[in-house]
């Protein structure tokens, strides 16, 4: 490489129009769109192509197609999404999402997806927490796998088209798998490329590109109990921060109410919400269906008050209210947490999720095959005969890269973000099923706008040699003599997870978070000097050493934002400020990086909702979330009340 | 509730390698992957293993345990006696990169050789109508998590490297069956299954089915039905005559 | 790490992990192929001996004809046993049922289950999963002679016809030589054997394909779909039925031989 001063290091160089980092649903959908716009596109994946965390999504993909209930439409879906996010959502994103989700699902069928069907041959839709109507397109309880495989096969199909044209499968779209990006390059404030290493060889690679789509997923690996895989180290969040972009809403983490609690090795692995959607109920050690005690005031009208009414709802949803087991995830997670704290938990520190007494074994096997499989093989529990033990697990980060809603572009020109690593769409809490639709809708939008952005450029920014050298040096730091005597990265990682789990977990307190920030300062120093042994080929210690700084930076954002927000809302619960405060609804907390291991927090006002969207809600409902003066624009003349 | 167990893990690369002995602490409820991770955190920081979801859903941690192709995350330690030696080796059919990690690009190459879903002409997105009974067979095959254990076990390529050129392997023959049974796919795939993708190499000895962690009946539901469909097209004069007489496709 | 065990042996193909052992399986993987060799071998020996014995195949008194000699079409057959005429020459090397036996053999030889069993047991290709096979080259069923495995469905058609003949024999056996109705243990065995033969034949993979498996739109063929679901259920038991019919054939034949030879007398229930 002539422009590489580190002569000792050979850095493979590629040039692409669009580079997509992350090969989950959002990344693949973005890549498909960029390629369809005629752009030469690279997909970079930390794991093998087709293994991304999207496969873990079980329940379904929310889209108001109205197949199961013709009353459904985008307005209802929009209202549900805003309600679920406690009106802190970026309403424009929620609007686009609700409007475009059906088209994105239908499109998948043309790629070869095989969803479960209704009797008239349409896509079947199932109930889920927070959704007014059955809305989730699904395939048993392996919808995420169907989605990732369908997108993967669509990419293969595009490659086959290219092969026919050019004789080269990879002429227009290429997957670089088992490749980790450690740095983004900006030149003159705009994206000029990125840098990383191949996991199997340890050799370095650089991509020169003007447009990067971030689709790296979440941050769960900063926590001890999580449903997320090792990949979820907040890479996209941290890379964007270091490139000068901002993160919003980082205090909002979704703890999924039902993760496995036993055996220890699988603690945190998800138990799909469909178990509850299909009739499963939560009970404490006294056998009581405790969720009826935990319906918050804002939801009182939509949820059943007796077990009888709740049970009737499954067969007659138009004349009954839904059971409280189907409250939004944050409510259920908090309720389980309270039951366990009050000493009414199960033997391994969770509560019981019972489907065995509610459905026949045949029905359970048909509707929840992979749950049956998961419990049978991992915990030796037969869910057709016994209840499951479940408890909250860190599942999803609502916060993420701050983007412009229509284009998905971050504050750094050329940087786009879609899926879990982007922020705003879900507000303070995401509804189940909205993530698969989110990544399709905004994956496509990012691919499209990345292509448009590239077209709009005169000359493309060039990567500077200094930036490249710095990236090489930082990546090799854990091997260098500068870190001699440093710690094993696994030890530091465990410390970070413990800190976040215990001090910035599901229920938060001011003094604990202050202590967490102190500990994170200490962990920051240790992260800089972690040391690894051995070679660069597939060395998990080295990989973790580099991922660690991403987790640290993200954890700092979470802790600082959580300390700042003095109310409880969605995925952010303060023990010292237990109620939702309308004064905080319109406040967004924005994080930006100060170097590699410090962040700065600023406040930003949420843009008020467009009037015709605002008018989709009844005034009485809005009053629960909005301050009096904010209601002025409502069709019912809210300012007077 | 923990004990020490004798582990033997293959360490090395494509040049050379050996089984290395490790004593390992095992706790109640753990799986083989947990033990590999414990070794990484203690004695062998650079022990390479590929893994992802740890819940049997992504198909990354395929290895051979006591000679049997399995997912490390789905192999419970309680299936072994406490004094049993547990031997973990990489998949044998693919080139090894390091330790337990193999180069599975063979599978991606084969995936690209299977023509993609051919959508029906003139049916707009949203207008697709399919009955549940018509999609169920293909849905079974779409449960595949692409762990490649079937590809690794199949003796056609495991014992005969030279067949890799001509044989797609159980996973991709099943993909052809999946598309051939898709109620709306319009491509003709049966003759190519035999002539281009090597269906004839399969001698239905069922090892693919035996190792499938998703319990897909690969042989009975995909490969044999596909062989029968090939017979329809290539070897059955009665069907041939019927098609001629009644002008069916 | 406490000690190391060197295993690098002869280089295997294309950068694979060098593990010298043929397999690292620790279970008794050799047992199933061994049982298959013993079971199939014993049956073949028995069947061969009986096919060429040309004796003790018929009990005239009760009209019991062993399936090994059905249809009995050799000039050597006793007249009462020859339900379908006598036209084959009576020579020692030609079994009396020479028009059915070869096809029954071919039906089972090309059966998808038996193929698995004998490829594994007799040809060690492979002997068990993840155990290396001993052969240098492998072309499977891509060329002569194994390409002919694709003819399975013709033998299925013929086997179905022969099952009709066996059914006829079983019905005939209720009519004694004197023309009256009779029922003995022999009848029960013959009927049980025929039922099992039908189940085995119907559970055939070719049958499953012909009946409905070749359709892409079950919803447009509800009757064939229902038939297919039934055959599919049976198909799941194809291996068990394959062994059950081997056993029932041998038992039926041995029983009739024993009665015919006068070693035992039939246990009579009626007449």
* Banded pLDDT at C1 (limits 50, 70, 90): very low
- Subunits with 3+ Cβ pairs within 8 Å of C are B
The dihedral built from the CA positions of residue B209, B212, B217 and B218, taken in this order, carries a sign that is negative
pLDDT (tens digit per residue) in A425-437: 999 999 999 999 9
User: pLDDT class for C2, splitting at 50, 70, 90?
Assistant: very low
Is the ipTM higher than 0.90? The answer is: yes
Q: Which of A250, A240, A252 shows the shortest CA–CA distance to A410?
A: A240
For residues A500 and A569, the answer to whether their CB atoms sit within 8 Å is no
Distance separating alpha carbons of residues B83 and B60, to the nearest angstrom = 28
What CA–CA distance (Å, rounded) separates B237 from C1?
65
Interstrand relation of B2-12 and B17-27 (parallel, antiparallel or unpaired):
antiparallel
Cross-chain Cβ contact C16/B14 below 8 Å: yes
Interface test with C, best of B219, B231, B232 (most C CBs within 10 A): B231
In angstroms, the CA A588 to CA A424 distance is 9
Q: For C118, name the nearest residue in chain B, comparing CA atoms only.
A: B205
- Report how far apart, in Å, the C-alpha atoms of A331 and of each of A293, A569, A573, C58, C153 are: 11, 10, 10, 80, 61
Confidence at C4, pLDDT banded by 50, 70, 90: very low
- A342 CB near a chain B CB, below 8 Å? no
Q: What is the mean pLDDT of chain C?
A: 93
Q: Which of B20, B163, B227 sits opposite C138 (nearest CB)?
A: B163
Structure token pair of residue A473: 């040096």
Query: For position B239, what pLDDT does the model report?
Result: 67
Contact A88, A570 (CB under 8 A): yes
Residues A12-51 pLDDT 10s? 999 999 999 999 999 999 999 999 999 999 999 999 999 9
Q: Which residues of A are catalytic?
A: 256, 276
pLDDT at C13 (0 to 100): 62
Best B131, B203, B207 residue to mutate vs chain C (most C CBs within 10 Å): B203
Query: Is the confidence at residue C10, as pLDDT, over 80?
Result: no
What is residue C7's predicted lDDT score, i.e. its pLDDT?
Answer: 35
Show the low-confidence residues of chain A (pLDDT under 50).
1-7, 640-641
Q: How many residues are recorded in chain B?
A: 249
Which strand (E) or helix (H) includes residue A537? none
Q: Tokens representing C155?
A: 């033998």
| Chain Cα centroid distance, residue A341 | 28
In this prediction, residue A7 carries a pLDDT of 47
Element (H, E) at A602: strand A599-605
Q: Which of A398, A130, A412, A388 is nearest to A275 (CA)?
A: A388
User: What pLDDT was estimated at residue A120?
Assistant: 96
Interface contact flag, A142 B57, Cβ < 8 Å: yes
d(C-alpha A281, C-alpha A275), whole Å:
8
The pLDDT value given to residue C3? 37
Residue C252: CA count within 13 A, CB half-sphere:
29
Decide if pLDDT at C182 tops 80: yes
Instruction: Answer whether residue C198 shows pLDDT above 60.
Output: yes
Cα distances (Å, whole numbers) of residue A445 to A406, A440, C91: 7, 9, 83
Task: Note the pLDDT of residue C5.
Answer: 35
The reported pLDDT for the residue numbered A637 is 72
- Distance, in Å, from the CA atom of C65 to the CA atom of C172, rounded to the nearest integer, reads 9
Using CA of residue A198, residue A199, residue A201, residue A202, what is the dihedral sign?
Answer: positive
For A363-386, write each residue's pLDDT tens digit.
Answer: 999 888 888 988 988 888 999 999
Asked if the Cβ–Cβ distance from A114 to B111 is below 8 Å, we say no
Q: What is the DSSP string of B113-133?
A: HSPPP-PPTT--TT-----HH
Q: What is the pLDDT of residue C8?
A: 34
Residues 6+ apart with CB under 8 A from B170: B150, B151, B154, B202, B208, B218, B219, B222, B223
Test the C interface: residue of B106, B190, B195, B205 with most C CBs within 10 Å? B205
**A190-198: strand order across its sheet:** A11-15, A204-208, A190-198, A179-187
Determine the Cα–Cα distance for residues A189 and A184; give it in Å rounded to an integer: 11
Q: Cα angle at A52 between A47 and A58, to 5 degrees? A: 155
Quote the radius of gyration of chain C (alpha carbons, Å): 23
Q: Chain B partners of C241 at a C-beta cutoff of 8 Å?
A: none
| 3-state SS class at A213 | strand
Q: What is the pLDDT along chain B (249 residues), one digit of tens a residue?
A: 789 999 999 999 999 999 999 999 999 889 999 999 999 888 888 899 999 988 888 999 999 999 999 999 999 999 999 999 999 999 999 999 999 999 999 999 999 999 999 999 999 999 999 999 999 999 999 999 999 999 999 999 999 999 999 999 999 999 999 999 999 999 999 999 999 999 999 999 999 999 999 999 999 999 999 999 999 888 877 766 777 777 655
* Nearest CA distance, A159 vs chain B (angstrom): 8
Q: Do A114 and B142 touch (CB under 8 A)?
A: yes
Mean pLDDT of C206-232: 97
What pLDDT score was predicted for residue A286? Answer: 95
What confidence score (pLDDT) does residue A273 get? Answer: 85
Contacts of B117 in chain A (CB under 8 A): 111-112, 153, 157
Residues near A90 by beta carbon (within 8 Å), at least 6 away in sequence:
A405, A424, A425, A427, A606
Categorize the per-residue pLDDT at C14 as very low, low, confident or very high, splitting at 50, 70 and 90.
confident
């Amino acid at each position: 490489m002539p422009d590489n001063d580190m002569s000792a290091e050979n850095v493979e160089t590629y040039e692409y129009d669009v580079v997509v980092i992350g090969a989950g649903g959002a990344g693949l959908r973005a890549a498909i769109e960029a390629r369809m716009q005629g752009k030469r596109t690279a997909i970079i994946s930390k794991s093998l192509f087709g293994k991304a965390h999207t496969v873990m999504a079980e329940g379904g993909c929310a889209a108001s197609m109205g197949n199961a209930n013709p009353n459904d439409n985008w307005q209802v879906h929009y209202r549900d999404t805003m309600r679920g996010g406690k009106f802190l959502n970026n309403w424009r994103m929620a609007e686009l999402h609700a409007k475009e989700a059906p088209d994105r699902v239908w499109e998948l069928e043309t790629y070869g997806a095989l969803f479960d069907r209704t009797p008239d041959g349409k896509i079947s839709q199932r109930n889920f927490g927070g959704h007014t109507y059955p809305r989730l397109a699904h395939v048993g309880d392996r919808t995420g796998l169907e989605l990732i495989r369908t997108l993967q096969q669509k990419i293969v199909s595009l490659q086959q088209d290219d092969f026919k044209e050019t004789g080269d499968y990879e002429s227009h779209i290429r997957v670089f798998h088992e490749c980790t990006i450690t740095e983004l390059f900006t030149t003159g404030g705009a994206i000029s490329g990125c840098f990383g290493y191949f996991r199997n060889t340890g050799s370095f690679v650089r991509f020169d590109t003007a447009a990067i789509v971030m689709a790296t997923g979440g941050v769960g690996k900063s926590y001890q109990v999580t449903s997320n895989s090792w990949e979820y180290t907040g890479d996209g969040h941290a890379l964007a921060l270091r490139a000068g972009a901002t993160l919003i809403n980082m205090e909002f983490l979704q703890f999924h109410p039902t993760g496995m609690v036993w055996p220890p090795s699988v603690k945190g692995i998800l138990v799909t919400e469909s178990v509850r959607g299909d009739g499963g109920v939560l009970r404490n050690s006294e056998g009581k269906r405790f969720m009826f005690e935990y319906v918050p005031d804002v939801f009182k009208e939509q949820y059943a008050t007796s077990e009888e009414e709740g049970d009737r709802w499954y067969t007659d949803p138009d004349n009954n209210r839904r059971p409280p087991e189907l409250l939004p995830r944050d409510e259920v997670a908090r309720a389980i947490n309270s039951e366990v704290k009050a000493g009414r938990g199960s033997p391994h520190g969770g509560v019981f999720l019972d489907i065995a007494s509610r459905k026949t074994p045949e029905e359970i096997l048909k509707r929840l095959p992979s749950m049956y499989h998961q419990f049978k093989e991992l915990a030796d529990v037969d869910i057709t005969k016994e209840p499951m033990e479940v408890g909250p697990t860190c599942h999803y980060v609502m916060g993420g890269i701050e983007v412009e809603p229509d284009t998905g572009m971050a504050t750094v020109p050329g940087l786009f973000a879609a899926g879990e690593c982007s922020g705003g769409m879900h507000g303070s809490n995401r509804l189940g099923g909205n993530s698969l639709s989110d990544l399709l809708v905004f994956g496509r939008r990012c691919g499209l706008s990345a292509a448009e952005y590239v077209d709009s450029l005169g000359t493309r920014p060039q990567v500077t040699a200094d930036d490249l050298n710095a990236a090489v040096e930082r990546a090799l730091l854990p091997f260098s003599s500068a870190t001699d005597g440093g710690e094993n990265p696994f030890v530091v990682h465990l410390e970070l997870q413990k800190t976040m789990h215990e001090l910035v977990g599901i229920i938060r307190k001011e003094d604990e978070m202050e202590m967490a920030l102190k500990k994170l300062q200490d962990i920051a120093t240790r992260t800089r000097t972690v040391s690894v042994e051995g070679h660069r080929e597939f060395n998990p210690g080295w990989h973790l050493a580099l991922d660690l700084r991403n987790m640290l930076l993200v954890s700092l954002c979470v802790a600082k934002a959580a300390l700042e927000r003095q109310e409880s809302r969605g995925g952010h619960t303060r023990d010292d400020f237990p109620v939702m405060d309308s004064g905080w609804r319109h406040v967004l907390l924005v994080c930006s990086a100060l170097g590699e291991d410090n962040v700065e927090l600023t406040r930003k006002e949420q843009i008020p909702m467009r009037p015709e969207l605002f008018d989709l809600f009844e005034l009485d409902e809005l009053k629960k979330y909005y301050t009096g003066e904010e209601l002025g624009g409502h069709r019912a003349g809210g300012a007077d009340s | 509730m923990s004990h020490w167990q004798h582990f033997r893990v293959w360490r090395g690369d494509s040049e050379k390698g050996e089984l290395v002995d490790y004593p390992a602490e095992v706790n109640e409820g753990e799986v083989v992957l947990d033990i590999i991770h414990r070794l990484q955190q203690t004695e062998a920081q650079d022990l390479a293993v590929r893994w992802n979801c740890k819940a049997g859903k992504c198909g990354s941690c395929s290895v051979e345990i006591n000679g049997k192709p399995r997912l490390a995350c789905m192999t419970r330690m309680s299936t072994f006696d406490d004094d049993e030696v547990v031997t973990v080796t990489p998949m044998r059919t693919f080139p090894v990169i390091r330790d337990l990690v193999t180069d599975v690009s063979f599978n991606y190459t084969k995936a690209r050789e299977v023509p993609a879903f051919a959508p029906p002409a003139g049916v707009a997105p949203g207008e697709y109508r399919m009955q549940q009974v018509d999609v169920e067979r293909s849905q079974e095959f779409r449960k595949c998590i692409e762990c490649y254990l079937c590809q690794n076990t199949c003796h056609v390529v495991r014992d005969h490297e030279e067949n890799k050129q001509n044989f797609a392997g159980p996973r991709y023959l099943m993909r052809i069956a999946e598309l051939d049974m898709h109620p709306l796919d319009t491509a003709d795939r049966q003759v190519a299954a035999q002539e281009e993708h090597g269906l004839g190499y399969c001698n239905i000895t069922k090892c693919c089915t035996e190792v499938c962690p998703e319990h897909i009946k690969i042989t009975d539901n995909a490969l044999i039905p596909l062989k029968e469909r090939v017979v329809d097209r290539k070897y059955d004069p009665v069907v041939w005559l019927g098609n001629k007489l009644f002008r069916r496709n | 790490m406490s000690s190391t065990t060197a295993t690098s042996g002869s280089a295997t193909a294309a950068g694979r992990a060098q593990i010298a052992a043929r397999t690292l399986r620790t279970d008794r993987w050799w047992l199933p192929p061994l049982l298959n060799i013993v079971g199939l071998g014993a049956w073949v020996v028995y069947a061969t001996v009986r096919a060429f014995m040309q004796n003790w195949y018929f009990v005239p008194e009760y009209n019991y004809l062993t399936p090994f000699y059905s249809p009995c079409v050799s000039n050597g057959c006793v007249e009462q046993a020859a339900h379908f005429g006598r036209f084959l020459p009576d020579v020692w090397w030609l079994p009396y049922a020479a028009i059915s036996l070869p096809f029954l053999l071919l039906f089972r030889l090309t059966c998808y289950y038996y193929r698995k069993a004998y490829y594994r047991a007799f040809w060690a290709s492979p002997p068990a999963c993840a155990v290396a096979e001993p052969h240098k080259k492998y072309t499977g069923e891509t060329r002569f002679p194994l390409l002919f495995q694709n003819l399975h469905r013709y033998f299925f058609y013929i086997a179905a016809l022969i099952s009709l003949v066996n059914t006829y024999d079983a019905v005939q056996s209720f009519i004694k030589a004197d023309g009256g109705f009779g029922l003995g243990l022999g009848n029960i065995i013959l009927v049980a054997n025929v039922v099992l033969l039908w189940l085995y034949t119907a559970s055939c993979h070719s049958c499953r394909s012909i009946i409905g498996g070749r359709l892409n739109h079950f919803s447009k063929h509800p009757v064939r779909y229902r038939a297919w679901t039934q055959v599919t259920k049976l198909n799941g038991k194809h291996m068990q039925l394959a062994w059950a019919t081997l056993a029932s054939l041998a038992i039926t034949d041995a029983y009739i031989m024993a009665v015919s030879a006068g070693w035992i007398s039939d246990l009579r229930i009626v007449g």
